Amino acid sequence: MASYMNGRMPLMSTLRSRVLALTVLVLVLTTAAGAQQQVVRPPVAQLWIDLATNTIAAPGGLRLPSFGGENRFGNTRFAFGRYMDVALAVRTRPQGIQATQSIPQGMRMGASLPLDPFRAAPPAPGGPGDASQVEQPKGRILFYWGCSTDVRSGQPRIIDVSRATPQEWASVFAGRYAPERGATAEAGRSIWPNDRDKRMLPDGNSVQGEHAIAGDSVPAGFRFMIGQAQDIMPAIELSPQGDPEASVTLQWRAIPTARAYFISAFGAKGSDFIIWSSSELPEAGMGLLDYLSNANIERWTGERVLLSASATRCAVPRGIFAGTDGAIARMIAYGAELNLVQPPRPTDPRTPWEQQWAVRVRVKSTVMTVLGQ
């Protein structure tokens, strides 16, 4: 027995040493591979396209016609109607370029759109006013949240404007928001609409199909497809039912390409300002009535801050807007964001990713209405 054990012990010791050495080698190689940082160079050309449908709905669900007028860059944010903003940046041409965006036939706007370098307007005359003449604000802010026919326990959250602390202000207004990631008019970018082309989007047109960008220093082969998920969204058919003295029910027809919804409302009664949001958490949503990334939509829907894509109704608690001069409700339907990069990322981390062009397309539909008569 002793002879057997004496023979086995050196063998077992050798095996353990080899296993230990092999484990160490694997760990070293894995760490070295993980430490290999792939070189990523930003795209030579970046294109942003923002699409928006912004409407007004009267009580009873009747949609009012969108306002006409001149098409200007930035109308996707504030103007009522159907709008598209396009911005192009070419890394090697920091002053901007004149470029052309070839468009599909379904847009019914010809073969292409001109993209011109943005030129900032001169600053308006005048300066800041006399701060000593600003009247000390008074009154209260009452904040409610959640889809419910009755005011829930623990609400409202109240802020006395005349003596509120920074922490109290933050408890209502320091909520979720998404940094700007889309089409903006700034130095070095070429935009549409512009002074050369201020056409409105034709009613019922579509951006689905192939688009292409051409211009000085724009990489060859800058072509991409926009599909149904990123087409111009239809108007939200929102219908408020009920009296603000009681509970108001907001109902809407689901939009097939919407990924989530959010609603907020506000009104004034005397020196009180009332805010309500559809969030299940105390989130006023000041930064949510705008485009959101797919990741934020998914995260905040999971947190029940945003209403799911299957939602078609939401109740405003009874009486919170009673006695106001007409509370205003705003609603947004978030579309799916499209992100494309050419060429695709190399799988080998030792190969640099030399991006030639990238595209981001964002879509939303918004509506504004009055709660009650």
Q: CA–CA separation, 288 vs 290, rounded Å?
A: 5
Q: Dump the DSSP string for 39-92.
A: PEE--SEEEEEEEEEEEEE-TTSPEEPPP-----TTHHHH-SEEEEEEEEEETT
pLDDT-derived band at 326 (thresholds 50, 70, 90) equals: confident
Q: Are 172 and 275 in contact (CB under 8 A)?
A: yes
Element (H, E) at 24: helix 2-35
- Average pLDDT of the chain? 88
pLDDT-derived band at 7 (thresholds 50, 70, 90) equals: low
Q: Are 200 and 67 in contact (CB under 8 A)?
A: no
Dihedral of alpha carbons 48, 53, 55, 61, sign:
negative
Strand partners, 226: 209
In this structure, are strands 40-41 and 353-354 parallel, antiparallel, or unpaired?
Answer: parallel
pLDDT-derived band at 229 (thresholds 50, 70, 90) equals: very high
- Return the half-sphere exposure (C-beta side, CA atoms, 13 A cut-off) of residue 257: 17
Whole-number pLDDT of residue 28: 47
Percent of the chain surpassing pLDDT 90: 71
- One-letter amino acid at 149 equals T
| 367 φ/ψ angles, rounded to the nearest 5 degrees | -145, 150
| 150 φ/ψ angles, rounded to the nearest 5 degrees | -120, 155
Q: Tell me the per-residue pLDDT of 333-349, one tens digit each, with 9 for 90 and over.
A: 999 999 999 999 999 99
Whole-number pLDDT of residue 164: 86
Q: CA–CA separation, 144 vs 152, rounded Å?
A: 8
pLDDT-derived band at 373 (thresholds 50, 70, 90) equals: low
Buried b (16+ CB within 10 A) or exposed e, 288-305: bbbbbbeebbeebbeeeb
